[in-house]
Amino acid sequence: MEPLVSITVPTFNEQLNIKRCLRSILAQDYKNIELIVVDNFSKDKTLTIARKYTKKCFHFGYERSSQRNFGAQKANGKWLLFIDADMRLSKKCLKEAIYKAQKGKFIIAFPEVSQGQNFWEKSIALERNLYQKEKILAGARLFPKKLFLKLKGFDQSLIAGEDWDITIRAKTFGYKLVFTNSKIVHKENFKNLGDLLKKKAYYSKMINAYAHKHPQEFSKQSSLKIRLGIYLKNWQYLLLDVPHTFGFILLKFLTWYNWSFKTTRKI
């Protein structure tokens, strides 16, 4: 029999995305699933919609790390999967992930395909799609529950970089990060440039805690040289979409000071 997989989805005001996310989970080829939604007291209809797809809906805050850990406490599965409400799983994601995870001491990451509607969403999506199988920038999403408990879950003091942090800590227990071929689709959610820059500035500030905890890893992850190497390796994709290439270059220029220079000066 297939082992039970508990899937936790943290939410906050996700009424436009949650239905798509939960439907993709229930449409998986892999059927032995426990679906858990942990809502940070949304002011919209997120939880009303979620209750149509699972009885395991809870109120808990205040950030994703604590919500995920709460979901893990409620989970009965042998395996724990964490995805966000603005994502949807391709149909074979879970079956492939469990198949690979059972082959050894593995934690699983999924290539993430970003999609946008407006110009700025499409620009940031173009950049993020260059990172789909870059291990240095990847965070695991599927864990054996026994490992997750040893790690004491996500570090709730981290608002940004918490997925990198738990991946790094899992490796100290001898686990290796492995990608599936099946992809997760991530819907970008930025109304305009101001909204995007505001969110970038927030996470730039919050990344300091992660940078202090893992200075060597952060130095590589924020390295301009490494990022440029990734861009050059994928030059053909950039040339195929010149307008959004210029868009994401402009975004990097506008956010780089907050994300890199301010952060590294405080380390």
- Residue whose tokens read 């927030």: 202
Q: Do 186 and 128 form a contact (C-beta atoms < 8 A)? A: yes
The 3-state secondary structure of the chain, one letter per residue:
CCCCEEEEEEECCCCCCHHHHHHHHHCCCCCCEEEEEEECCCCCCHHHHHCCCCCCEEECCCCHHHHHHHHHHHCCCCEEEECCCCEEECCCHHHHHHHHHCCCCEEEECCEEEECCCHHHHHHHHHHHCCCCCHHHCCCCEEEHHHHHHCCCCCCCCCCCHHHHHHHHHHCCCCEEEECCCCEEEECCCCCHHHHHHHHHHHHHHHHHHHHHCHHHHHHHCCHHHHHHHHHHCHHHHHCCHHHHHHHHHHHHHHHHHHHHHHHHHC
169, 97 contact by CB (below 8 A): no
Q: Is the pLDDT reported for residue 56 higher than 70? A: yes
Domain residue limits, the chain: 5-266
126 confidence band (pLDDT: 50, 70, 90): very high
Q: How far apart are CA 80 and CA 90, in angstroms?
A: 18
- Decide if 227 contacts 175 (C-beta within 8 A): no
pLDDT score for 16: 94
Contact indicator for 26, 53 with CB cutoff of 8 Å? yes
pLDDT band at 260 (very low <50, low <70, confident <90, very high): low
What's the pLDDT score for residue 210?
95
Radius of gyration of the chain from Cα atoms? 18
Nearest one of 172, 174, 99 to 142, comparing CA atoms: 99
Percent pLDDT > 90 in the chain is 81
* φ/ψ of residue 43, rounded to 5: -100, 0
Greater confidence (256 vs 134) lies with: 134
pLDDT in tens, 219-229: 999 888 999 99
Average pLDDT of span 63-68:
95
Can you tell me the mean pLDDT for 82-100?
96
Q: What is the CATH number of domain 5-266?
A: 3.90.550.10
Q: What is the pLDDT of residue 61?
A: 83
d(CA 60, CA 44): 15
> Could you tell me the pTM of the whole model?
0.91
Residue that wins the pLDDT comparison between 117 and 261:
117
